[in-house]
Every structure is written in C-alpha cells, then in structure tokens.
A and B are shown apart, each in its own frame.
Chain A
C-alpha cells in the first residue's frame, strides 16, 4: 500500500543554517508528492509539490526533488529564518485519487 515516512523531530537550527527534512515513500506507480507547512495554531498550507519523477518543487526558498530511484522527496532550504519555525508534513497522493497519505510531521524550531 501507499505510505510516507518522514524524519522524526523535533529539529532545532540556528538562523541561516541549512535545513534538510527527509521524506521517503512507498507507492505503486508514480504518485504526486507534496510538502505542507503548519504554523502554530493554524491549518496546513501547501508549500510545494511535484507530480512526476525528477520534478523539483520550490517555494519561499524551500525545494524538494522527486527522486523515483530512491523513492524520496527531501525538503531543503539553504538558509532558514525564525519565521520558518513550524511543523512540516510530507504527503503523497496515490494514483486512485481521493486518498492522501501524510507523514507524521517534523517540528522545526529556528533560533536567532
């Protein structure tokens, strides 16, 4: 079946540090992949997505590349800011639609 595994948190970084949050998936065929961000007390916001192998999603300085060979979709940012502190969710949409599979979320805290 479909599933998403993401890096356990919490992650604490200093401002301007490099960020990587690992995400791997199990799926049949070529699913669509997503990263969502949840700021404290709010709902989830779509951060970026990729719909086919080798696609790179990017937004607000974050990037993730759809790697079919390693079944991964790692989230990266070159220089984090305090305002990036949030919980990040990796997600997958299977080929049949109507079903999204979310990772358990990774909490990121950026300290000045």
Chain B
C-alpha cells in the first residue's frame, strides 16, 4: 500500500532563516506531487505541483521554491522565511488511472515563523 511521509511535524523558525520541508511517497511510481499551504482557519492554497523529476509548476509567486530530486521525493524550500510563511504545509500525491485521479495527503508540517 502507499504511504506518504512529511517531516518535520512541527517547526519553529526565526524570520530570515532558511527552510527545508521534505515529503516522500512509498508504494507507487511516478506520482504527481503537490505542496499546499493552509493558513490558520483558512482553506488550502496550492503552492507547487510536479508531474515528474525536475518538473515543477508554481501556482503563486512567493518566497518559496520546490524541487523534486527523485521520483518520490518533493522538497519545499525557502532561503529567507517571512512571518507570512507561517502555516500548515501539506504534501499530497496522486496517480492518474484512466481519467480518474485522487489526491492523498500527508500528515502535514506546522511551521511557525517568529
């Protein structure tokens, strides 16, 4: 069966510090991968998605970047965090089966920038 891991679970970082959040998927090949941010009490904002190694699409201009160095690894980064980067970051994967696709989410990383 497929599983998705995210770490760390919780992170407190000072403004201006770098960030690296990691997401890995097991039990599937060539998944589509996604990074979302959920601000407190708000909905989901799609940040990045990737359909293959080295292929990244960005949905919104921002302080963050994403990379996919391996098929089942998706990394969210920042060189200098802003206060507004605080939130709950969710990684998700999906595989297209015919015309059907379902997204499955990781447990999330809670980031607090102080």
Contact = CB atoms under 8 A, between A and B. Distances in A.
Interface stretch (B13-21, B39-47, B61-69, B72-80): B39-47
A95 B100 CA distance: 9
A36 B6 CA distance: 19
B101 A104 contact: no
Given A102-B43, A104-B42, A97 B101 contact: yes
Nearest to A94: B101
Nearest to B103: A100
A89 B45 CA distance: 13
A42 B101 contact: no
A43 B51 contact: no
B107 interface: yes
Interface string A64-82: 0000000000000000000
B105 A43 contact: yes
A104 B45 CA distance: 9
B96 interface: yes
Interface string A85-107: 00001010101011110111100
Q: Which label, helix, strand, loop or mixed, suits the secondary structure of the B interface?
A: strand
A25 to B, nearest CB: 15
A28 B74 CA distance: 30
B108 A43 contact: yes
A100 B46 contact: yes
A43 B42 contact: no
B102 interface: yes
Contacts of A99: 46, 49
Interface residues of A, number: 23
Given A44-B90, A97-B101, A98-B32, A89 B106 contact: no
Interface string B42-58: 11101001010000010
A104 B43 contact: yes
Contact of A98 (B6, B49, B106, B110): B49
A69 B98 CA distance: 25
Interface of B: 6, 32, 34, 42-44, 46, 49, 51, 57, 90, 92, 94, 96, 99-108, 110
The 4 A-B pairs of least Cβ separation, nearest first, read A104-B43, A43-B105, A44-B105, A43-B108
